[in-house]
Structure 1
Amino acid sequence: MNLKLHKFKRVFNTKHLLLAVSMFPLAGESTVLKISTGAFRESFSSKISIVMLEVNSDAKQQKWKGVVSGAGGEAVSGVEIRNVRTNAVTTSDVNGVFELEALSTDQIQFKIIGYETKTVLAADIEQVMLTVLESRLDEVVVVGYGTQKKGSVTGSVSTVKFDENTVSRPNLNLASALVGASAGLNISQTSAQPGAESFGFLVRGMGTMNDASPLVVIDGVPGALNDVNPNDVESVSVLKDAASSAIYGSRAANGVILVTTKKGSGDKFSVTYNGYLGSQGVAKDIDFITDMATHMELVNESEGREKYGADLIEEWRRESAAGNPLYPNTDWYDEMLNSSLLSEHNLAIRGGGQKSHFAMSMGYLNNKGIVDNSGYERYNFRINADAKVKNFLTLGANIFGSWSDREVLDVSSFFSSIRNTTPGVIPVYTDGRYGGEMFSGLPVGSNPRAYVDNITGNGERQKLSAKFFGIVNLLKNLEWESSFGFNYSNLKSWEYVTPYSLWNLQTDFQYQQRPSVNSLFNNNRRDYSTVLNTLLRFKETFGGSHYVAALLGFDQQYNRMDNFNAKKNDIFGNDAIYVLDAGANMESIGGTGTDDALQSYFGRLNYDYQNKYLFEANARYDGSSRFSKDNRWGFFPSFSAGWRVTEERFAEPLKAIFDDVKIRGSWGKLGNNRIGDYTYQVVYGSYLYPFSGQLQQSVAPKEIANSKIKWETTTISNVGLDLAMLKNRLTLSVEYFDKTTSDILTKIPIPLTMGNFSPPWQNIAEMKNKGFEFQLGYQGKVGELAYQVNGNLSTVSNNVTKFNGDRSISGANITLEGSPYASFYTLEFDRIVQNPEEIEGLVADGYTFGTFVGGKPSPGDILYKDTNGDKVFDAEDRVIKDYSSLPKITYGLNFNVAYKNFDVNVVGQGVGGVKQYWGNDGFNTFNINEGFLQRTTILERWTEENKSTVYPRLHTSGSALNTAVSDYWLYNTSYFRIKSLQLGYALPQNVSTKFKVDRLRLYANLENYFTFTNFEGYNPENASVSYPMMKQWVVGLNVTF
């Protein structure tokens, strides 16, 4: 390539130098020209180069003049050139020319939208050459077992880059950072328990009736997202279609998430600190009745009798108003769910030289949680290093380790204790005793404070993950890479329960001890996996137009899990002794062990003609121990092609608007082996069986085996259109996908005559998902205000196309052919009965009411529709809804704006077209009793004085009226959440240098603070009771040395 170097002038008070160099060939990465009065170095990219000249001079403010030009010699205007010390700014004009005054020791920054910002010292002869970021088409995208240029990708790959704004958020795990970041990736958080956060992952819909989560690969080794500190992440690639995922074969049917961690740089040494401190609380509150007198009146109404006398109710109102502590009005959610501190600190050291690179990081996280005894603490480290030990040999290692300690709290039991209490229970009296029910002395209510205070437990986990690799350059364009990786995890957890007493503090009566004896539970689990990988890579360009790349590989994986647990009662001593030998009575003991293996052969072929016509083929041949020998191996191919229209001669007129137009399409077949380790074999269990009048330990089969089961297979077709406009400032990607999963493994009930066995697995179901994805980005600048907007939106339609002509009903859901998976199957709400004549009229017309609906309703009860017209209100009136708990629409938004040293980042995400069944398990009921905490919504119930048409009347918790599975309890759980709102300020360079740092940025962040939804529960992502989502505010610091 011949590139033209423009003339440059540097004018001095005492010296002059004029250098002019015209056409010369570029021999390598750089060409160095030595002259007696200074030195000059230039290095060209294929896009834009900025060239400066350095000569010896006195340390005085001098005027610099230069030209910014493109690869074809065209001038590039609008480049911002800033003197970091003085903050003086200039821009290149229409001819690419710029002038700027600076000292020889000043740092000069070059910035233009869409290109990498770089800073060099004016006097540093090694850094006087600046190259802006390459075109978006030349950006490197991480794909399976390698990388590709973005412009050459023909499959469906979304890339999420982790910038300063992302790592400054209080992302307690990597999954949280990815929410709303990619089209086609739906992440829902079902629990926020520290250290045990629960997320659901779906790539392009529910692809199976079994485990539908995507495969996660971290630096080439399969793992889990919670194994990664977000501060260590460079980028995340989401592989969504068969063309991009087939290289992972049998594990890729539900998509693949590739995590790439940060590596060292060969030309820069840096030390970076990122840390924050903040507070957190419940993201969305639920209002509960906290007035005990009101609670008693509601219980009287639900039971239809005066359980609590009027005198007692009045007494309670009077004494509580006077401040008598024996007449409490406890707000249990305020008592038990409290704000807490949150902090995280990360330190990273990265650098290297011409032949070696390294990156080391250390992190510490302390999350106290919003419930006592639910905190989490973690230490972690990561080391990534590589070195070219010979001209033909590179060796390297990626190592990650962590130690964590999580306080063990049974979330389900904790929230059950809150639900089963009343405002009239004192949490802890002044003398330390735990309050109980104040009336009959009967155990009709729990004390959540006593429950939490008397359960002590911890789960200590050590993790170590490593990958060691070597790369041998066999020929100029042929390399051989082999690696060995492993994951090791060891968990040791224990839970010690101390008996406690509840008191009627008004009568000084101790009426219950919970539990009756102390106990100790121990659990030990070890997980271990290995990955052996070897592959050949070849790439070559023939005749200047034909680019060919090929990959051949072999993969061997092994996974092992061992678990042991035991529980003993009557632990010796008054103080906690956390040794099982201290227990007198064994309550339970058990253990399990599983293993599986996978062997694979795979390959990929890429062909590129003049960067215009693109083709790719992938194939993988997998053998899994989870299938019998006759069905163990599966073949998974894919093909894709792309056409870059703007590279055609006839498309020249389009280039006035479009920088790039690419049409692509793909087809392929993937597999799913997530079915359990011994599904095709007979599995035995231990049972007690009566022999000779006594129970004897015995062994018997647990389920019927089916040795003929085979792979679930997923076939995906994908078409896409990628556009870049306005000098790459505006980008748009549109895709349509059609995904069919066949031979889905499920169980069909068997006759009781075959025995009390679990039914066998069978390949009998089929499911289809199809939809559209849109990704839109724009970046621009107005004066000193730079901004960037990225948005994504996905639609997905799910349908079960084959289910052996059968159906499966579970609670409010049904699965059958012709409907979405787990569609809602409910009665239809008609109205709230207002008077007896309505029911009498129905009875007179011959209508009857079955037990499914709770019998004949009365005024204030729910009346359902007789949908089948048989004049019987019963389970046969249930109808299939055309929606489920799977959202039909997901979307995300990321907005960045920077003005001088200030920056603002907003991340939003949401879902639409989704409903959830919210009933008794989510505190949503009008059937109550005396020991049941009630939501304030119950105050709007139907009564004779308030004949509501929205809410029914009260019943006791044992009544079946108003509790039938119906669409009355279906709630629209669509929402939009401002996931993150961040404000940052970077100190001017002349200020930060006083602190001996290169960059110092202060920031404040609000996480999960704003959720817009009509749903009245804690979390629209999960209607049942779980550890509530938390909102956080933090203040933090980014420092680079």
Structure 2
Amino acid sequence: MKNKLITLWCMMITALLLSAYLYAQPAPPAGSGPAPARKEIRGQVTDTAGAPMPGVTVLVKSSPNIGTTTDMNGRYILEVPDNTTVIVFSMVGYTTTEVPLGGRSIISIQLKSSSSQLGETVVVAYGTQKKASVIGAITTINPGELKVPSSNLTTALAGRIAGIISYQRSGEPGMDNAEFFIRGATTFGYKKSPLILIDGIEYDVTELARLTTDDIASFSIMKDATANALYGARGANGVILVTTKTGKEGKAKINLRLENSISSPTRDIELADPITYMEANNEAVLTRNPLTPVTYSQSQIDNTKAGTNPMVFPATNWKEMLFKKQTINKRANFNLSGGGQIATYFISGGYTKDNGMLHVDHRNNFNNNIDLTTYTLRSNVNIRVTRSTTAMVRLHGTFDEYKGPVDGGEKLYQKMLRSNQVLFPAYYPADEAHQFVNHPLFGNFNNGEYLNPYADMVRGYKQFSRSLMLAQFELKQDLSSFITKGLSVRAMMNTNRQAYFDVSREYVPFWYSANNYDKLTNTYVLRDINPDLGTDYLSYVPGKRTVGSTFYIESAVDYNRTFNKHGLAGMLIFIARNNLTTFDENEAKVNALQKSLPSRNMGLSGRATYSYDNRFFGEFNFGYNGSERFYKKERYGFFPSAGVAWYVSNEKFFRPLDRVITKLKLRANYGLVGNDAIGDENDRFFYLSSVNMNDDKKGAEFGTNGGYKRNGISISRYDNRAITWETARNSTMGVELSLFNKLDIIAEFFVENRYNILMDRASIPQTMGLQATPKANVGKAESTAFDFSADYNSAIGKNLFLSVRGNFTFARNRFRAYEEPVYAEPYRYHVGYPITQRWGYIAERLFIDDEEVRSSPPQAFGNFRTMGGDIKFRDVNGDGQITPADMVPIGYPTNPEIIYGFGFSLKYKGVDLSAFFQGSARSSFWIDVKSTSPFVDTDDDNKITSENQLLKAYADNHWSEENRNLYALWPRLSPTLNTNSQQMNTWFMRDGSFLRVKQVELGYTLPQRLTTKAHITNLRIYANGSNLFTFSAFKLWDIEMGGKGLGYPIQRVVNFGLQLGF
């Protein structure tokens, strides 16, 4: 790790020295003589509505190297030569303004939007475009809005960007990536998530999660065919397009951000106390069979309640033994930028340290708590080689160092919920016979077969290292003076290397139990349960080791020119990508050859745009892509799109309204995009069969007593040369509206038909004797979506600025073709229902008593006996029995159909206050009955015995002989798994709707007059919090986790930060 960091730092320092050298080269001197005297000017920059404008560039016209930018309140201070005559104010999307100095020391101005934002550019596929000419559905967000008190960027997406459906299921460091889809999951195939591109290079979601917002220049969501057609067979699920910052001409600027945060669960599961647990367990035994002996004697209950001897009568609070109430995390980010006429640079470094909530045993000489440390390094250098040639060099590295419990935080949380509180303590204090042992005396029962989550937590640790190092070179050549005006060419080469390895270190716990308890002396004798199996040393178990490398090239020809009122632009680009991942000997031998082969894709894409008088716009895009995954006749595909737009507010007849409606734009498009990420990792070459010629499970035994055995042949995949990519045919209509130059509204309606979805063939009879289920592109799906965003910005008086924003996304999908068996009941077919729809039984209520059970349609599931207090299901088809034929579509889809968010920000002089709310609606989830069934052994490992704990909510509200509540939260208790309750049904279905106070922030920026003498251009202190409050009907755990609530909880974060600029 140290060598990697040193190497990358050396590369970045070299780039910095190069750019500093180039920056230092002066322009040809206009004359010689002593340096002129200097003076200070100051002022404020606002827009036409009076709102402060941060980030405006302020330069001396005669000396562009002398400049600054406005702070968050639009204010600036600049030292200029005494002979300065003109100051230049500029910002993307606004008209550059030159102001004569005229001996003044205070200059405050208003910047006007450049022709209704006609000059503003946005990042699009493989380039940039004027915002006015964009026809595709592209949503951009200010990177500052993504700044949340978290080291994981993906957790900031939900509710902030129109068109994104997102949710988070875990809060464990390193495992807390949010799941997100653009306009919902529009396929039931294998890959549903969008393509992620950072500076034009494809990354996985983890690299996006590690990206710091201080490095981001633009963040765009590409949502339809016109926006994504150039990505061809990789763009059907949408694209997230991120570009990082580059340097600007001017003196060096340094920015530093330091943060410390306190994390705790948003909602913790409440468990019943040990006494209630034992009494409820006895009730469960007797209510099912009054003749069965109870589990816990009254004597044990009384002694536990009295606290007689906690080692003999334990009441172990496993949650408190394993998990702390809170933990502290740290983050730091540093960047340096600047440059001259020849070169500019942006250098940054980031550090985050995320800790888990686990306790550490002081008797160990290692840390078993979760510790995820991440380092990020970035260098972007732009070099002006000649007047028409520019080059860019990008270097980037991300390094993760993880250390945590062997089983991970998620499994430990689940083990805690499956551990009996009253069988034994976590560990025993050393008695006289064991005072010199070098290991903890872990508690257990019988022969040590019971789950002790504390021992599992502290018995060792797992650590892994993950790294990514990238080098990228880009060259652009303007051919305007050589061939024709507006013509240019560019080429880019990128190579990156990814590495991962992990190792586990652990010892085998020594188990003990308390025996021979003497009531009179209140003493016991410790018995060694496994004296010959426990170990005092840490084993070394190497895990997964992978090394991957990717080589990517692209070359493009661009043309952009205006003829009077006609604007023409075009681009033709070729791309090729080669990826190779190698595995060590610990990787499974199955498919080893297939995995060792490099994966490749290539394509040719193009774009052509036309505009007339900045009123009418047209665009045509195409992608022609090839993928090695398919047979040669199906390997290449053509994905075109076309769109038109009308800038109504630029029409002459509209001018009387332009004071009210400052912008009105209508647009529509239609096109095709594809998805070649189908099948699992072992289904790489669909046109080849996968055959094992030496399968010991398919062999034959013969001879006396099976003395001879020969392995056989197995087939896990049959070749299908017709398999190809999914194709999405989609169209979008959109309107962009601005009112009073203060309120901006964007609304879009989207329809997509997805076909060629890969799925198992259900119509092939078993009598054919096939060993594997054939797959084919026979599935179809349809999606509709509507998303809306509104932003309001206004100045109230001289010093108060208000911003209000909100967005709403509705995305619905359904099956159009789904191959399945023939059913007698039409409601059992998938076609016409949402992709994540569930089928289950309708629960009417709980049975009144055993008599009602006998008089109702039988509902026997396995050997479990249904009794009064169990769930009564509806006989939907009226055949007099409860069978799978009575399962109907229930609830909403499991993925939310509605995501929304709204918030505000207030700025008054140096004080700023902001808040953001996130909401979700129209989704359902199901409580995991098996995992929450009290007293039941649900551990899948037969070597370990577990007993689920009792949730307090179940203890307080369950059916019993004394409380025959037919609508109780939990049915009649049972000491064994209730297979009747375990069926998918509406009783345990819950509404997934919620509203969350996602973030609140309060900050104060010191006036520049107080910081300038210390050469500080910006000093801001702030406090913020995320996931502060949640409003929902569900109270057992954080509702956003859905049915996965029995895992590491989502975190509430309170954060304190300092931001410095020099």
Report TM bin, short chain.
Answer: 0.7 to 0.9
Change (3 A) 1:204 1:695: farther
Query: Which residue of the other structure, out of 980, 990, 1014, is the alignment partner of 1:961?
Result: 980
Partner of 1:385: 381
Partner of 1:511: 529
Partner of 1:150: 131
Cα offsets for 1:736-757 (capped at 9, x unmatched): 1101101111112454455563
Contact 1:154/1:641, CA 8 A, preserved across alignment = yes
Task: State the 1:541 CA deviation.
Answer: 0.5
Q: Percent identity?
A: 26
Distance 1:898 1:507 in 2: 69
Partner of 1:335: 321
Change (3 A) 1:657 1:299: same
Partner of 2:231: 248
Partner of 1:944: 961
Partner of 2:920: 911
Letter in 1 for 2:695: Y
Cα offsets for 1:967-1009 (capped at 9, x unmatched): 1111111112222211111112122234331111001111222
Cα offsets for 1:391-448 (capped at 9, x unmatched): 121111122102211125434542342232122242233336344356xx25564111
Change (3 A) 1:946 1:137: farther
Q: Which moved more, 1:102-111 or 1:390-399?
A: 102-111
Partner of 2:1009: 990
Query: Which residue of the other structure, out of 134, 139, 143, is the alignment partner of 2:120?
Result: 139
* Counterparts of residues 856-867 of structure 1 (less than 5 Å): 857-867=866-876
Partner-residue secondary structure (3-state), 1:244: helix
Task: State the 1:960 CA deviation.
Answer: 2.0
Partner-residue secondary structure (3-state), 2:456: helix
Change (3 A) 1:455 1:126: farther
Query: Which residue of the other structure, out of 688, 713, 718, is the alignment partner of 2:696?
Result: 688
Q: Does 1:317 align with 2:304?
A: yes
Contact 2:171/2:1051, CA 8 A, preserved across alignment = yes
Unaligned runs of 5+ in 1: 1-33, 40-54, 71-75, 85-99, 568-585
Cα offsets for 1:833-884 (capped at 9, x unmatched): 2233423443xxxx333336x6663221111111111111222211113621
Partner of 1:787: 802
Distance 1:406 1:808 in 2: 50
Q: Does 1:364 align with 2:347?
A: no
Partner-residue secondary structure (3-state), 2:186: coil
Letter in 1 for 2:696: L
Distance 1:938 1:514 in 2: 42
Letter in 2 for 1:747: D
Cα offsets for 1:900-947 (capped at 9, x unmatched): 111112222121000012223553668679822121122121111112
Change (3 A) 1:58 1:482: closer
Partner of 1:737: 750
Partner of 2:281: 299
Partner-residue secondary structure (3-state), 2:187: coil
Distance 1:450 1:101 in 2: 61
Change (3 A) 1:123 1:988: farther
Q: Does 1:935 align with 2:951?
A: yes
Distance 1:559 1:413 in 2: 33
Change (3 A) 1:318 1:798: closer
Partner-residue secondary structure (3-state), 1:1020: helix
Partner-residue secondary structure (3-state), 1:360: strand
Task: State the 1:824 CA deviation.
Answer: 1.0
Partner-residue secondary structure (3-state), 1:860: coil
Contact 1:566/1:589, CA 8 A, preserved across alignment = no
Distance 2:715 2:994 in 1: 47
Distance 2:553 2:759 in 1: 32
* Counterparts of residues 185-224 of structure 1 (less than 5 Å): 185-209=164-188, 210-224=190-204
Partner of 1:526: 547
Distance 1:444 1:81 in 2: 66
Distance 1:330 1:185 in 2: 44
Letter in 2 for 1:212: K
Distance 1:923 1:916 in 2: 15
Letter in 1 for 2:641: S
Partner of 2:72: none
Q: Does 1:654 align with 2:668?
A: no
What is the TM-score with the length of structure 2 in the denominator?
0.81
Change (3 A) 1:109 1:501: farther
Letter in 2 for 1:456: Y
Distance 1:882 1:280 in 2: 34
Partner of 2:477: 472
Letter in 2 for 1:410: D
Contact 1:922/1:1017, CA 8 A, preserved across alignment = no
What is the TM-score with the length of structure 1 in the denominator?
0.83
Change (3 A) 1:557 1:815: farther
Task: State the 1:507 CA deviation.
Answer: 4.5
Distance 2:120 2:931 in 1: 47
Letter in 1 for 2:384: K
Partner of 2:418: 420
Task: State the 1:144 CA deviation.
Answer: 0.4
Cα offsets for 1:130-157 (capped at 9, x unmatched): 7736454533211101112222211100
Partner of 1:748: 761
Letter in 1 for 2:140: T
Q: Which moved more, 1:965-974 or 1:531-540?
A: 965-974
Change (3 A) 1:921 1:999: farther
* Counterparts of residues 550-699 of structure 1 (less than 5 Å): 550-564=570-584, 566=586, 592-676=595-679, 677-685=684-692, 687-689=695-697, 690=699, 693=707
Change (3 A) 1:239 1:944: same
Query: Which residue of the other structure, out of 841, 861, 875, is the alignment partner of 1:851?
Result: 861
Change (3 A) 1:637 1:777: same
Q: Does 1:352 align with 2:339?
A: yes
Task: State the 1:299 CA deviation.
Answer: 1.7
Q: Does 1:264 align with 2:247?
A: yes
Unaligned runs of 5+ in 2: 1-29, 57-75, 287-291, 359-367, 431-438, 515-523, 702-706, 939-945
Letter in 1 for 2:568: V
Partner-residue secondary structure (3-state), 2:722: coil
Q: Does 1:773 align with 2:787?
A: yes
Change (3 A) 1:349 1:119: farther
Distance 2:590 2:760 in 1: 30
Task: State the 1:58 CA deviation.
Answer: 9.1
Query: Which residue of the other structure, out of 868, 886, 896, is the alignment partner of 2:877?
Result: 868
Distance 2:619 2:590 in 1: 56
Give the number of the structure whose residues are more often strand, by fraction. Answer: 1
Distance 2:172 2:708 in 1: 44
Change (3 A) 1:808 1:130: farther
Contact 1:743/1:766, CA 8 A, preserved across alignment = yes
Q: Does 1:455 align with 2:460?
A: yes
Change (3 A) 1:955 1:101: closer
Q: Does 1:284 align with 2:267?
A: yes
Query: Which residue of the other structure, out of 877, 888, 901, is the alignment partner of 2:886?
Result: 877
Partner of 1:18: none
Partner of 2:4: none
Distance 2:871 2:301 in 1: 33
Query: Which residue of the other structure, out of 143, 147, 156, is the alignment partner of 1:177?
Result: 156
Change (3 A) 1:255 1:194: same
Distance 1:875 1:430 in 2: 54
Distance 1:808 1:513 in 2: 59
Partner-residue secondary structure (3-state), 2:875: coil
Q: Which moved more, 1:1025-1034 or 1:976-985?
A: 1025-1034
Contact 1:928/1:956, CA 8 A, preserved across alignment = no
Task: State the 1:331 CA deviation.
Answer: 2.4
Partner-residue secondary structure (3-state), 2:276: helix
Query: Which residue of the other structure, out of 1017, 1020, 1034, is the alignment partner of 2:1037?
Result: 1017
Contact 1:185/1:204, CA 8 A, preserved across alignment = yes
Partner of 2:561: 540
Cα offsets for 1:593-613 (capped at 9, x unmatched): 353211101100111111100
Distance 1:151 1:793 in 2: 23
Task: State the 1:123 CA deviation.
Answer: 10
Contact 1:105/1:121, CA 8 A, preserved across alignment = no
